[in-house]
Structures are given as C-alpha cells and as structure tokens.
Amino acid sequence: MAARPARKTIAPVQGPKISLRRLFGSAKPDLVELGRALRQAQERGEFKAACEALPIHTRKAYDLITIAEAVDAGRLEARVCEELGWTKTRLIAALKGTKQQSRRAIAFARKNTAPALVNYIQQGNDGEALVTKSFHLTEAEAEELEDALQKAGARKSGGRLVNRSEALMTLVRMRRPANAPRSRRTSRTSE
C-alpha cells in the first residue's frame, strides 16, 4: 500500500486552539475571523500554503482579507457580514469608500438581490433597483433563447451566459417599434 502524502499544516492563529481549518470547516464559517487569519498567514509568508491547506482559491482568500479589512476599518460590522452573506459582503467590502457609502450600500443590499447590488455599485450608488423576472421554458425553448441571447451579445463564461440581461434587452428593443413607449407602466386613477 502506498504511503499517504503528508498533510499540509498551518500555524494556529488568534490563540493556541484556533486553526484556519477549523474556521473554514465549520457549517457557517466566520468570514471576518477567516479573513483575519488569512491576512496573518499572508504576513508570515504562508498565504499560499494556507490556501492549499484549507483548500480555498486564492481569489476567495483575498476577498476574505478585504472583508476583514473593511470590518477592522469600521466600514462594515461583523454581524452585517453574517446577515448579508458572502456575495453581498464581498461586494460592499471591495468598495473601499467611506463609512457612509458602505452604510448606503448595506441598506440597499438588505432590500435587493446581489445583481441589483452590483448594478448599484457600478452606477456610482445612483443605480436604479433591478427587478427579477423568472419564467419557465421547455428544454428546446431554453436552447432557442440561449442562442438568441448569444446572437444579441451574451457570451459564455464558465459554462454560463454572462451579460444575459443586456442581451435580452437588446432583443426587446430590436422588436419594439421606434415610436413605442419605453415602459408600459400605467398610473392608477380613481374612478
């Protein structure tokens, strides 16, 4: 029987009994503590070994460090990180703006989806809230839609279509007569 390769170990952080593996391996890891631990590993020159030992992709590790730095700088609170979850927290932490900008982004994130938060951040915090639309298609219809979206500019990345919303709106605008209104919102009137 072949000998098993030696397991990579990393030094404990934040006290003698807390390890990166334990922080990462819990059912709901503490994003802030994990980020701090990874930052300490980075400062000791053990970043790559820490990522390999967990295992965690280096991009996610850097994002966790950014989250910890945002908390330590007072732009985020640890409880908010747990409330919002990984995706929204990393988006807000990456802002590196003022505390007030972070508070606005947090308020927006609490009421909106992650894609809407991306839009909000990209539009300089003036972004219009996005609305999610969902519908059901047969497999053949889904393939037809995917082909049409790709022809309208959507591209595949990692097996998924990205910029689908923009491509869909391109298709909608191509089908709309030039003199048609952009929105069919109607105001309610009392009779």
Q: Where are the domains of the chain?
A: 20-122, 139-175
What gap in Å lies between CA 102 and CA 118, rounded to an integer? 13
Looking at residue 13, its pLDDT comes to: 44
Looking at residue 61, its pLDDT comes to: 93
What Cα–Cα distance (Å) separates residue 65 from each residue in 11, 45, 60, 88, 179?
A: 17, 15, 9, 15, 51
What gap in Å lies between CA 38 and CA 96, rounded to an integer? 19
Looking at residue 89, its pLDDT comes to: 93
Tokens of 132: 């999610």
- What is the 8-class DSSP label of residue 161? E
Note whether 170 and 153 are within 8 A (CB): yes
What gap in Å lies between CA 12 and CA 23, rounded to an integer? 11
- Write out the DSSP string of 105-125: HHHHHHHS-HHHHHHHHHTTT
Looking at residue 190, its pLDDT comes to: 35
Query: For the chain, where are the alpha helices, taking DSSP H only?
Result: 20-25, 31-43, 47-53, 58-72, 78-84, 86-93, 99-111, 114-122, 139-151, 164-175
Looking at residue 5, its pLDDT comes to: 45
Tens of pLDDT along the chain (191 residues) come to 455 444 444 444 443 334 665 656 555 668 888 899 899 999 999 999 988 888 789 999 999 999 999 999 999 999 998 899 889 999 999 987 888 889 999 999 998 888 888 888 887 756 566 677 788 889 999 899 999 999 999 888 888 888 888 888 888 888 877 666 665 543 333 33
Residues linked to residue 157 through DSSP beta bridges, in sequence order: 160
pTM given for the model: 0.60
